[in-house]
Structure 1
Amino acid sequence: MTVCVLFWLPLGLAVTPLILLFTERGMSLASIAGLFVAYSLTAAALELPTGGLSDVLGRRPVLAAAGLLNLTAFTLQSLGTATWILTLGMALMGAGRALSSGPAEAWYVDTVQTHSGPDSELRTGLARGSSATSAALAAGTLLGGALPWLLALGPDAGARLSDATSGLLIPLSVPPLLAAALEIAFVLYVLTALPEPPRPPGTLRSVFRGIPATVTDGLRLGGRDVLVRRVLLSAAAAGSALATVELLTPGRAATFTGAPESGALLFAGLACAGFVCSGVGSHLAPLTARLAGSGERAVLVGLGIGVSGLLLLSATAMTAGPVSLTFAAAGYGLVYLGLGAAGPSENELLHRRVPSTGRATALSVQSLALQLTGALTGLAVGNLAPGPLPWLLGAAVLMAGALLWTHHRSEPTAVDAGGRTAPEAHVIVVGHGADGT
């Protein structure tokens, strides 16, 4: 939980003003979408190699490298004015995202199963980690939106800041710079507080020789297991929904308030509320699974809630005023509530199908699906006319992900030592004799 907080708090700080910061640097929405494509494609290209690196080399060094890359990325985003510098910053953030997408959770599952056995319950711990992530993002986004607004309160404060730094710093660029400083704390914590089981000693050559085999196993995972394939496709659908919400909401907030700094503050409030909803959904994931009857049905319920939120955002896209803002905020919260409720159940289903030797790779495949679909959706949304259509695109993709779970199978048992799952039992009741047979 501490690792989740220290990793995602800086990201929340940096991401809140990012789109409005790029707009102030003179970039169009289509160009900003291109920057986020650079982020997503870099993350997608490195997901599997970095997941394999974590499974071969260890969780701790890969997480520390992610923190160092994010530190550099946030610094470039804060101070950069040229397009190529901002593109490099987004690409480095994508590389950091790829490195971080599996190791922490894989470390947690490894540790639990080492102490409590392969059949130990995982959903509650995964839900707590997800709730911690949401809390960190909520706090980070709120602070990241409030700082530019506070710095712009004084007369000509933003102009003085820009003049003093020759245009490198404006109020919107302060949160990413603070995020870069917080990454130092993350790296130090990872290096000192994450003991992991000893791994067989190996040279750098043996490490990189083991990655391709691990990556190949990760790619085969979705092809040979229907349940895992559903999890991966659901992650792709969630990526489309998140790309739609994250790309369109900041501009809509700035339009509503009439100024970028106040728009950043409004977006920060919405994002904070969204992450709180995500944390609540994650916290309720075990209860949702019990009430729904299985983890699979809990995923269906969660994704369905997210679809309803996107439809509500679409319905309010062409209207303005406090009532429209209220319904749009409700839709925004429903998207995050639904995705938060679905996530822990999806990941428990995944971990029970995957052995420890490929756990980080499986999480990287999941993140890869999310990043690729998010990049494609971002390109499409950035070039569509403003209005309901971009929101409907995200809703349609997420609905397709939800429909995958309309046919249920029993939840799988834990993997055995060789990485295989026990065969599922199919019981057929054929009759009941008078003698009780």
Structure 2
Amino acid sequence: MTVPLDIRAARRRYVTVCVLFWLPLGLTIAPLVLLFTERGMAMTGVAGFFAAHSLTAALLELPTGGLSDVLGRRAVLAAAGLLNLTALTLVALGTTGWLLGLGMGLMGAGRALSSGPAEAWYVDTVQAHSGPDAELRTGLARGSSATSAALAAGTLAGGALPWLLGLHPDAGARLGEATSGLVLPLSVPPLLGAVVEIAFVLYVVSALREPPRLPATLRGVLRGVPAAVADGLRLGARDALVRRILLSAGAAGSALAALELLTPGRAAALTGASESGAVLFAALACAGFVCSALGSHLAPLTARLAGSGERAVLAGLGAGASGLLLLGATAAATGVASLVLAAVGYGLVYLGLGAAGPSENDLLHRRVSRAGRATALSVQSLTLQLTAALTGLVVSVLPAGPLPWLLGGTVLLAGALLWTRRSTPAAPGPAGSQPHRTGGEHARTGGPKTERTP
């Protein structure tokens, strides 16, 4: 029988997995659009590539969560790494639209596969070692901090590497000649990300130990995944606290969509040129990830000071909403004081969302069983993605100025206000002591899934 890892070892491995998974995606944030245009793609084509990513991730979000609950966390995480390895290679080396679109679609599939298994593995491992009442928030906070730190480091490196190669034009020219034009300076960050993905897959396979599972059959998987998905959707309908968590995820998605869509234009308007605006936006994105990492790191302290996880979520979402409202209030201003206030507001959004996330997920994991944990995380992720997409459509048709910012801030404030009333305890299960289950035991063939980046 496999001896469960102790809590510190599980925490270290969970944090390492978070860093290795998100660092390659962070490397693509700065150069991706420029790489596509360098390959001769029109902006309509670039938009289509991102749509392929988003639609694939949304369509596969719930089925892949159920797949993790049926097949196991390690297998699904390794598959996510292999898909991202293929996707980054295609994006870095592809020269035609269909290859680049395929790469973005595969990246979306990898994103869907990854949204939950690592966190579910960590919670499974800690509870197997210390019981269902084990302390989870510290490990979840460190994983969220590691994710944001990896994205921040990746964003800086992904923007700096092509720039450094551009300082030596001969180096870029020799790189293109040696590879017959396949590798451009802008291709280097995604290729580096592909190398990191290899390390990610090897680490997942070797380090994430799981209890032995019964061999999965194709028939069992085909029966188990839909059952797990259906139970995950029913959970949000019957459990008031889980429903509140899902609505809060939707509010966070709206806030992030407004921030990500509106900040690049505001940065370009501030600097007076799109190129310099892109550099400013990359720096702001990195600063946002750092604030998110800080907020996540402070999540356990926030919960202790607030008196409970629910009040910590209220405080975090409230801080994020105040940041967006501050950005809306300064949208038409150009003075130095207004710019400082806008920067403070930008940081507050990420700081608040980072502080709220670990407490939300701590509450979620205490409401679901091991059998459906990854599915519940997938439902949460899908809620965020869908509301972000809807908010993006609304924001795109609103007139420029304070109104789009205020919309995002109002939605996030509404999400915060959901937590002003304390929830009732979970209803006991059939045995009187089990949490609500998603993806019931009968659906298993072998035992019991928030960053918005492509």
Q: TM-score range by the shorter chain?
A: 0.7 to 0.9
**Residue 220 (str. 1) matches residue 218 (str. 2):** no
d(CA) in 1 for partners of 2:178, 2:341: 42
State how far apart, in whole Å, the 2-side matches of 1:324 and 1:154 are. 39
Opposite residue 335 of structure 1, the aligned amino acid is V
Partner of 1:428: none
Q: Which amino acid aligns with 2:201?
A: V
8 Å contact from structure 2 (residues 93, 187) kept in 1? yes
Residue number in structure 1 paired with 2:393:
379
Task: Give unmatched runs, 5+ long, in structure 2.
Answer: 1-14, 437-454
Unaligned segments of structure 1, at least 5 residues:
423-437
Among all aligned residue pairs of Structure 1 and Structure 2, give the percentage whose two residues are the same amino acid.
Answer: 76
After superposition, give the CA deviation of every residue in 1:399-421 in whole Å (9 maximum; x if it has no partner).
22222222222565998988833
Distance of 2:408 and 2:48 partners within structure 1:
18
d(CA) in 1 for partners of 2:36, 2:162:
14
Query: Counterpart of 1:403?
Result: 417
- How many angstroms apart in 2 are the aligned matches of 1:93 and 1:415? 39
| Correspondent of 1:232 among 228, 240, 246 | 246
Q: Distance in 2 between matches of 1:162 and 1:259?
A: 28
| TM-score where L is the length of structure 2 | 0.84
Distance apart, 1:94 and its partner CA: 1.4
Residues 348-387 of structure 1 mapped to structure 2, 5 A cutoff: 348-387=362-401
Alignment of 1:294-333 (within 5 A): 294-320=308-334, 325-333=339-347
Letter in 1 for 2:198: I
Q: Closer, same or farther in 2 for the Cα pair 1:390/1:147, shift >3 Å?
A: farther
1:60 alignment partner in structure 2: 74
Distance 1:320-1:145 versus aligned 2 partners, 3 A rule: farther
Aligned equivalent of 2:192: 178
Deviations 1:364-407 (A, max 9, x none): 11111111112222333345454333323322322222222222
1:179-208 CA distances to partner (integer Å, 9 max, x unpaired)? 122111111111111101111223232222
The question of whether the paired residues in 2 share the 8 Å contact of 1:40 and 1:374 is answered with no
Decide whether aligned partners of structure 1 residues 379 and 166 sit closer, same or farther in structure 2, where only a CA change above 3 A counts: farther
Displacement of 1:268 in angstroms is 2.8
> 2:240·2:423 contact (CA, 8 Å) conserved in 1?
no
Q: What is aligned with 2:209?
A: 195
| Aligned partners of 2:149 and 2:289 also within 8 Å | yes
Q: Shift of the alpha carbon at 1:90?
A: 2.4
- Contact 1:80–1:86, Cα closer than 8 Å, also in 2: yes
- Distance in 1 between the 2:68 and 2:117 partners? 6
Report whether the alignment pairs 1:120 with 2:134: yes
Q: Secondary structure at the match of 1:405?
A: helix
2:116 maps to 102
**Conservation of the 8 A alpha-carbon contact between 2:369 and 2:435:** no
Equivalent AA in structure 1 for residue 147 of structure 2: T
- What is the deviation of 1:294? 1.7
Find out whether 1:207 has 2:221 as its counterpart. Answer: yes
Compute the displacement of 1:46 (Å): 0.8
Aligned Cα RMSD in Å? 2.9
Question: Structure 2: how far apart are the matches of 1:368 and 1:136?
Answer: 22
Paired with 1:61 and 1:397, the residues of 2 have a C-alpha distance of: 37
The TM-score with structure 1 as length reference comes to: 0.87
Tell me whether 1:334 sits opposite 2:344 in the alignment: no
Helix, strand or coil at the partner of 1:235: helix
CA distance in 1, matches of 2:387, 2:165: 36
How far did 1:319 drift? 4.7
Equivalent residues, number: 421
The CA distance in 2 between the partners of 1:259 and 1:159, in whole Å, is 27
- Of residues 278-287 and 100-109 in structure 1, the stretch that sits farther from structure 2 once superposed is 278-287
